[in-house]
Amino acid sequence: MKNTATIALKELKSYLASPMAYIVTGIFMILTGFFFSISSSTYYETSIKGFLEPGNLLLLLLVSVLTMRLLAEERKMGTLELLITAPVRDSEVILGKFLGSLGILTIMLILTLYYPLLLIGYGDPDIGPIFTGYLGIFLLGSASLAVGIFASSLTSNQIVAAVVSGGILFALWFIGYTATFLPEAAGEFIGYLSLSYYYPDFMRGVIDTRGIIYYLSITALFLFLAVRSLENSRWS
Amino acid sequence: MIRVENLTKYYGKRLAVDDISFNVEKGEIVGFLGPNAAGKTTTMRIITGYLAPTQGNVWVADHDIINHSLEARRQIGYLPEAIPLYTDMTVRSYLDFAGRLRGMDSARIIARTDEVIEICHLEEYVDVIIGKLSKGFRQRVGVAQAIIHEPAVLILDEPTIGIDPIQVAMTRQLIRELGKDHTILLSTHILPEVSVICQRVIIIHEGRIVAEDRIDNLSSMMSGSQRFRLQISGPVKKITERLQKVKGIINVSYEESNYIIECAAGQDPRRQIMDEMVRGGWTLLSMEQIGMSLEDIFLKLTAEEEADE
């Protein structure tokens, strides 16, 4: 646990010391702010759907950029040799990296809280969907971070890591859209596997336990795969 | 302290380390000598737990690296060939992170940081970003992270590669001092380096141990013939003929305006050469002994091995 915290804290610090996290957060704020203001002034809606709905794909993209360096850079710079010859478990390394990047995601989402605060200040929004909407985007974000860390564990090239991560995430997102072309049972099954299937429920203010379990499972699955991939590099 | 047994490592189909076994006793400084791609780095990476062996096992302070990897790793300080530095960190924060990874608490890290900074002569650079340090200082930071947790065993992979001669001398001095209370295994491809630092040497070639001995024994093992390089002004043919007549000289060759002479073991023909040159009226410009190079040793050792088979 202590080792995980050490690594998480170090990751968080190096995010805050490098321009990448600021650029990613900046782009996220500008674009979601744009979506939010367009939708609120067009539909006169007191909800944050205008920020959350287009925000999801943007998030998948930005998370891939945010996580690409986590292990690929360590491999490239040789610092992986320090990290995994220290008396630290591979799972602690991966979990530390995950929690560090989750910290940045949390900061990013906290910065967007002024959208709902504006709504509360100038209108009378329904708090329920705002709460579940944030829960949804946080869960989606954490699943994406896990995918990104897995992709970063595969290579020493950060660009490759980002592309692989983006590829997996977009495939998992859009695979749900094929459901309509498939026989009902198969379509439903594919839908359940898709990152996009449960997201609208959260926007509507519904907390579906299956949705929470789904996103947590994806997170756990890809973190597990990242641990295996790190272990595997010892056997190369 | 380190026990390597029947270690074998394949990279895919390529055999990098071929069934090697050796021991490093407590308090010893052992040199791991070999040309590039001999399997030195691979062996060290297996000992430190960076790579898993294909076959065989390693014990570090009686913990084996397969089943008790964390306990084994806790005993080791490791300086890889590519120094593992986070270039965006200051020296202090890097050492702090390295210490925490090894499970040290804050108070001990602060105390030890001051000590290793002093040992590695980094006083003026504690708060400098590592990315701004020169190669020699980076290498010292690398040593500092390897010793911060006071490990029983130090594994140093080519610790003097790529730094300037003054710093090489400093680093060798530092390693000798660390050897007083650490068990050290260091790799190098520079022959004189092992004789300066180490008490014992393990020579590895193409993944196999070709020789293992104390330094003093090794040099006598290598002797057998001596060679000298001479520069003489005068007619080449006559001088060569005269040199060949000197007692003890086995062979004389002339290349790139130098005479290379080889003489039998235990013979020192230098005084006689001088006399002959004076008698002939030629001027001896220089005369130096040529040590056996690493290549010569490998040629000799591998040739002997093939002859044995």
Q: For residue B254, what pLDDT is reported?
A: 85
Pick the range with the lowest mean pLDDT from A172-186, B82-96, B100-114, B213-227: B213-227
Q: Which residue has the higher pLDDT, A162 or B261?
A: A162
Region B239-250: what's the mean pLDDT?
83
Q: Which letter, b or e, does each residue of A47-78 get, where b requires 16 or more Cβ atoms within 10 Å of its Cβ?
A: bbbbbbbbbbeebbbbbbbbbbbbbbbbbebe
Partners of A86 on chain B (C-beta within 8 Å) are 73, 98, 101-102
Q: For residue B245, what pLDDT is reported?
A: 82
pLDDT tens figures, A114-129: 888 888 888 888 888 8
Predicted confidence (pLDDT) at residue B212 exceeds the cutoff of 70: yes
Q: Is A81 on the interface with B (CB under 8 A)?
A: yes
Q: What is the second-level CATH architecture of the domain B224-296?
A: 2-Layer Sandwich (3.30)
Task: Find which of B55, B101, B139, B156 to mutate to test the A interface (most A CBs within 10 Å of its CB).
Answer: B101
Q: For residue B145, what pLDDT is reported?
A: 95
pLDDT tens figures, A56-100: 889 999 999 999 999 999 999 999 999 999 999 999 999 999 999
Asked if domains B2-221 and B224-296 share a fold, the reply is no
User: For residue A183, what are its two tokens?
Assistant: 């026989």
Region B217-245: what's the mean pLDDT?
77
Nearest CA-CA distance, residue B60 and chain A, Å: 13
How many Å apart are CA A170 and CA A63, to the nearest integer? 12
Q: Which of B78, B86, B103 sits opposite A79 (nearest CB)?
A: B86
Q: Are residues B209 and B38 in contact, defined by beta-carbon separation less than 8 angstroms? A: no
Q: Which residue has the higher pLDDT, A81 or B274?
A: A81
Q: Which of B70, B80, B88 sits opposite A87 (nearest CB)?
A: B70
User: For residue A54, what are its two tokens?
Assistant: 């287009």
- Determine, for residues B84 and A18 on separate chains, whether the beta-carbon distance falls below 8 Å: no
Q: Which residue has the higher pLDDT, A230 or B234?
A: A230
In one-letter notation, the amino acid at residue A198 is Y
Q: Which residues of B touch A (CB under 8 A)?
A: 11, 45, 48-52, 70-71, 73-74, 76, 78, 80, 82-89, 93, 97-98, 100-103, 145
Task: Find which of A82, A228, A233 to mutate to test the B interface (most B CBs within 10 Å of its CB).
Answer: A82
Predicted confidence (pLDDT) at residue B267 exceeds the cutoff of 80: no
Mean pLDDT of chain B: 86
Predicted confidence (pLDDT) at residue B280 exceeds the cutoff of 70: yes
Q: Are residues B117 and B126 in contact, defined by beta-carbon separation less than 8 angstroms? A: yes
Partners of A2 on chain B (C-beta within 8 Å) are 100, 103
Predicted confidence (pLDDT) at residue B219 exceeds the cutoff of 70: no
DSSP, collapsed to helix, strand or coil, labels residue B14 as strand
Q: For residue B221, what pLDDT is reported?
A: 55
Nearby residues of A10 by Cβ (< 8 Å), 6 or more positions away: A96, A100, B97
Q: Which of B45, B48, B84 sits opposite A79 (nearest CB)?
A: B84
DSSP, collapsed to helix, strand or coil, labels residue B9 as strand
- Determine, for residues A83 and B101 on separate chains, whether the beta-carbon distance falls below 8 Å: yes
* Other Cβ atoms closer than 10 A to A190: 17
Q: For residue B216, what pLDDT is reported?
A: 67
What HEC string does chain A produce? CHHHHHHHHHHHHHHHHCHHHHHHHHHHHHHHHHHHHHHHHHHCCCCCHHHHHHHHHHHHHHHHHHHCHHHHHHHHHCCHHHHHHCCCCHHHHHHHHHHHHHHHHHHHHHHCCHHHHHHHHHCCCCHHHHHHHHHHHHHHHHHHHHHHHHHHHCCCCHHHHHHHHHHHHHHHHHHHHHHHHCCHHHHHHHHHHCCCCCHHHHHHCCCCHHHHHHHHHHHHHHHHHHHHHHHHHCCC
ipTM of this complex prediction, to 2 decimal places:
0.89
Number of cross-chain residue pairs from A and B with Cβ atoms under 8 Å apart: 72
Residue in A closest to B49 by C-alpha: A85
DSSP run (H or E) holding B259 = strand B258-264
Region B81-103: what's the mean pLDDT?
94
Q: Are residues B224 and B53 in contact, defined by beta-carbon separation less than 8 angstroms? A: no
Partners of B100 on chain A (C-beta within 8 Å) are 2-3, 6
Positions of chain A with pLDDT lower than 50, given as ranges = none
- Name the domain count of chain A: 1
Q: Which domain holds residue A49?
A: 2-233
What does DSSP assign to residue B101?
A: H
Q: For residue B72, what pLDDT is reported?
A: 94
- Determine, for residues B88 and A78 on separate chains, whether the beta-carbon distance falls below 8 Å: no
Residue in B closest to A93 by C-alpha: B101
Q: Which residue has the tokens 């330094």?
A: B215
* Structural domain spans, chain B: 2-221, 224-296
Report the CATH number of the B2-221 domain.
3.40.50.300
Q: How sure is the predictor about B102, in pLDDT bands with cuts at 50, 70 and 90?
A: very high
Q: For residue B294, what pLDDT is reported?
A: 58
Predicted confidence (pLDDT) at residue B179 exceeds the cutoff of 80: yes
Partners of A88 on chain B (C-beta within 8 Å) are 70, 101
Q: Is A221 on the interface with B (CB under 8 A)?
A: no
